[in-house]
Amino acid sequence: MVNDIDLEAFRQEVKQFLADNARPEILEAGRKSTSAFAPFKEVMAWQKILADKGWAAPSWPKEYGGPGWNIFQRYIFSEECARARMPTLLPQNVQMIGPAIIGYGTAEQKAQYLPRILTGEDFWCQGYSEPGAGSDLASLKCKAEREGDEFVLNGSKTWTTYAHHANKMFALVRTDSTGKLQRGITFILLDMDSPGLEVRPMLGLDGEYEQCEVFFTDVRVPVANVIGQIDDGWSVAKYLLEFERGGSAYGAALVPAFERLLQVCNKADNRGRRAMDKPGVRRQMSDLYIQLRALEHTEKAVNSKLSHGDNPGPTASMLKILGTEVMQLFSEVQVRVAGFDALPLQTEALHVGSPVAEIGSGDFLTAMPYYLNSRAASIYAGTNEIQRSLLAKAILAQ
């Protein structure tokens, strides 16, 4: 019992809701997710179900459509969704642009955008990285020149996840080049069907189109679409990135995944052999378990700062480092446990509703693509090396 909330009763409520709403195609999307980005059609259908229940944005303040849960309820919800193998909601909407608008948007912008972010009627992509500005984001050059009540955009963005599905983008653009690099950057919202905007999907190592290039040629965007102050978009971007880095429940997702992997390790094949008996597997699983539990406890402490929309600060960098590195370790151990069963890259079988039969038992269908996708985890949202520098500056330099 925490603050007069019966957490076990809440857990049972979540389990029942998931059981009642776990459509087969949504469950299949969860089982076949190979990265932080689940199959688009099915995950957006799941978001609509959650929005109808009022559960689409667990960390949002109640006045903006959040459920009003405390940190323990949010963690239980994430954990039970992972245990039921529901697809994880795409982070751009409720985890990234939503908090940015809540923190920096005007009353009119909140009223216009937040309801449609919750329901998924609008799906947003993130226009941050450029060919010459990734981790060094302040070097971005995508230019926005003001003409009356509009900005005219020219330039490009890259690594723009699911831009080919999005109807909206939040982007950082260069509005002043005369001063410090971090100054002169503006945070702006735009429509993906704007004249002069082109999206080119890129094929990933796992055989899927997840990342995109986006090109702007004289794209006109109203000045009213600026979030925060013109030339001070860096403040909004940092705020958003702290939610992106610190708003995920890595442990809540990985602990149930570890439990499933442990079951597979202890399952005997037709010759009575177990993966757990392979040389080194027991030690690797033990090491992974210890790191997962350490991550889980650290994560609960850090994510408590997100209660009621609070800014997590530099501790978000610590959580991003821990979470992504344990995620990568899990992917490595899973491939070692799978052995030869992880070698086939069954791209077509990974599609929801695919008629292609899976090779093997299905226990390791996603092992190799998940491993490949996880290599990017320590790079996206700012490399882990950058995160360590931020921690040094924010904490050790005090």
User: Catalytic residue positions?
Assistant: 244
Q: What is the CA radius of gyration of the chain?
A: 21
For helices 315-338 and 281-303, angle between their N-to-C axes, nearest 10 degrees: 160
Q: Are residues 130 and 5 in contact, defined by beta-carbon separation less than 8 angstroms?
A: no
Q: Are residues 309 and 286 in contact, defined by beta-carbon separation less than 8 angstroms?
A: no
DSSP 99-151: HHHHHH--HHHHHHHHHHHHHTSS-EEEE--BTTBSSSGGG---EEEEETTEE
Pairing of the two strands 185-191 and 197-203: unpaired
| Phi, psi angle pair for 350, to nearest 5° | -75, -15
Which helix or strand (DSSP H or E) is residue 32 part of? none
Task: For residues 238 and 114, give the distance between their C-alpha atoms in angstroms, rounded to a whole number.
Answer: 20
Sign for the CA dihedral angle at 191, 192, 196, 197 comes to: positive
DSSP 329-365: HHHHHHHHHHGGGG----TGGGSTT--SPPSTTSTTT
CA 334 to each of CA 139, 140, 291, 354: distance values in angstroms, whole numbers, following the listed order: 38, 38, 15, 24
Q: Which residues pair with 157 in a beta bridge?
A: 214
Task: For residues 215 and 283, give the distance between their C-alpha atoms in angstroms, rounded to a whole number.
Answer: 49
Q: Are residues 81 and 89 in contact, defined by beta-carbon separation less than 8 angstroms?
A: no
Hunting for tokens 């406890």 — which residue is that?
A: 297
